[in-house]
Amino acid sequence: MTADNFKWLKQSKEKIGTTVTLSGWVRTIRTTNAGVSFLSLFDGSDLSGIQAVVPDTLANYEQVIDQVSGCAVCVTGELVASQGKGQQVEVQACHVDIIGEVEDPQHYPIQPKRHSMEFLRSVAHLRPRTNVFAAVTRIRHAVSMAIHQHMSNAGFYWIHTPIITGSDCEGAGDLFRVSTLDALKPPLNTSGEVDFTQDFFGKETFLAVSGQLNVEAFAQSMRHVYTFGPTFRAENSNTSRHLAEFWMVEPEMAFTDLSGCADCAETLLKGICQSLLTHHSEDLAFFDQFVEKGVLARVTNLASQGFERLTYSQAITILEQSGQAFEYPVKWGIDLQSEHERFLVESHFKRPAVVTDYPKDIKSFYMRLNDDEKTVAAMDVLAPGIGEIIGGSQREERLDVLTKRMLESGLNPDDYGWYLDLRRYGSTPHSGFGLGLERLVSYVTGVSNVRDVIAFPRTPGHAPY
């Protein structure tokens, strides 16, 4: 029942002149008075699909031209070089089998026209049949595979860190609780609190917001490692830029300072973009034409331009001297806003930049304290058109300094026993960063709402699929 996918068929010049079977769905049908009809077929393997030329000599010709739109079909015929514009091959059909019909065609949600993204979110189970969502899915796959291939080729081992955890990894952010206790009448302890010792793991547990602390343990044993998996933040921010569930890649490197960390981030982003340009130029051109003019140039630039490097203090000076009227006033100590980040990379440098050494008070406890005791060895990678796309740091490897920073941040070191323990035994300078998959896919496709780059959209206050 299986057959070559359309993408491969089109690349197999030796198949021209042979009989092939196409398994896919009918996007459109065009009938003519010249005794033939044209079926535009897709199977998800590429954007443009293959055209089948259906002669009226077929036994089921009338049924085909009446009913076939949207149907799943198997079309058998000779693969020939195409006379039509914009396609290399087509199939001269000698059999068209309708495998799966469309019940009630007028109400089939995916009509051959342009649909709004809002509407498509309401029929998420069918939206991969549209050009735009299938292309998003291919790009998401390609970005994900490029990440794995790049990291693996660079000698990094993929670590599956725990999703269900006993502690809030970063000491910040709202968490999803994971429990098997009775929701209505949970068991109580003698203090009248919920008795989580009776829960599945014997303590209160949450969905991990990051794999970083766990993967640091592996970096301290296997040098170059990374996580790539789902992470969770129960932040009820109804923006198009945030998801409660998203995938993140988190490389972590022992024997590596912040400069090496920035090198790794720049190389990874370039590698991903280069892979997209090599293998998915058809989809990128589609997004450039129909979704956001300029995404092709964006990907090309990210793949080729050197990233500027500067400190936070230098960035503040540039912003202060820019003469720009920013919504959020600039002074040393503020967290950079999107408008500041974008001014730096879009107007000032006109290329991506890595900003390092942020004030310690706006960054996490685990980031390495610099000798000035005012800044930490943090970095943000900023890109034109989006601002921050990667955040990372050198980690604090000194036990005494880390403990002090925890206390300053209101954390109880007793909750981080093994994380502190790592600093007691052969601890090395180490660094790492996080890159959110959905944000990157949104960036390289121009599909601006992150709910449109995931499989099934789930929005706070709305039932998930």
Footprint of its own copies on 168-207 (CB under 8 A): 174-181, 183-184, 186, 188, 193-194, 200-205, 207
Q: What letter represents residue 138's amino acid?
A: R
Which is nearer to its own copies, 209 or 254 (by Cβ)?
A: 254
Segment 28 to 57, residues that bind its own copies, using CB under 8 A: 43-45
Which is nearer to its own copies, 74 or 334 (by Cβ)?
A: 74
- Strand, coil or helix: 382: strand
Given the DSSP bridges, would you call strands 387-394 and 375-383 parallel, antiparallel or unpaired?
A: antiparallel
Q: Should residue 356 be labelled a site residue for its own copies when binding is judged by CB under 8 A?
A: no
Angstrom CA distances, 201 to 205, 231, 403, stand at: 8, 20, 27
**C-beta of residue 99 within 8 angstroms of C-beta of residue 80:** no
Shortest gap between Cβ of 1 and its own copies (angstroms)?
Answer: 5
Which is nearer to its own copies, 178 or 318 (by Cβ)?
A: 178
Segment 293 to 352, residues that bind its own copies, using CB under 8 A: none
Which is nearer to its own copies, 309 or 374 (by Cβ)?
A: 309
- Strand, coil or helix: 323: coil
* Residue showing tokens 């990894």: 169
The Cα 362–Cα 452 span in angstroms is 31
Segment 402 to 431, residues that bind its own copies, using CB under 8 A: 418-419, 421-422, 424-429
Which is nearer to its own copies, 71 or 315 (by Cβ)?
A: 71
The Cα 53–Cα 59 span in angstroms is 15
Residue selected from 63, 221, 267, 412 as contacting its own copies according to rule CB under 8 A: 221
Report the sign of the C-alpha dihedral through residues 73, 77, 80, 85, in that order.
negative
Residue selected from 13, 111, 164, 293 as contacting its own copies according to rule CB under 8 A: 164
Residue 329 has a CB neighbour count (10 Å cut-off) of: 9
Residue selected from 20, 25, 357, 451 as contacting its own copies according to rule CB under 8 A: 25
Report the sign of the C-alpha dihedral through residues 251, 253, 258, 264, in that order.
negative
How many alpha carbons lie under 13 Å from residue 315 in its C-beta half-sphere?
31
Shortest gap between Cβ of 298 and its own copies (angstroms)?
Answer: 23
User: Which secondary structure element, helix H or strand E, spans residue 319, and what is its range?
Assistant: helix 312-320
φ/ψ (deg, to 5) at 189: -90, -175
Given the DSSP bridges, would you call strands 375-383 and 36-42 parallel, antiparallel or unpaired?
A: unpaired
Segment 72 to 131, residues that bind its own copies, using CB under 8 A: 72, 74, 99-104, 108-110, 124-126, 128-129
Residues 223-262 vs its own copies: string with x where CB under 8 A? Answer: xxx---xx-x-x-x-------xx-x-----xxxxx--x--
**Which residues have a Cβ under 8 Å from the Cβ of 416 and sit 6 or more positions away?**
167, 213, 406
Residues 363-382 vs its own copies: string with x where CB under 8 A? Answer: --------------------
Angstrom CA distances, 174 to 93, 206, 244, stand at: 57, 10, 10
Shortest gap between Cβ of 150 and its own copies (angstroms)?
Answer: 12
Segment 386 to 405, residues that bind its own copies, using CB under 8 A: 397
Which is nearer to its own copies, 110 or 295 (by Cβ)?
A: 110
Beta-bridge mates of residue 38 = 30, 53
Which is nearer to its own copies, 81 or 99 (by Cβ)?
A: 99
Residue selected from 111, 152, 324, 347 as contacting its own copies according to rule CB under 8 A: 152
Shortest gap between Cβ of 62 and its own copies (angstroms)?
Answer: 20
**236 burial via Cβ count (<10 Å: 0-12, 13-18, 19+):** exposed
Q: Which stretch binds its own copies (CB under 8 A): 18-26, 78-86, 321-329, 339-347?
A: 18-26
Which is nearer to its own copies, 343 or 442 (by Cβ)?
A: 442
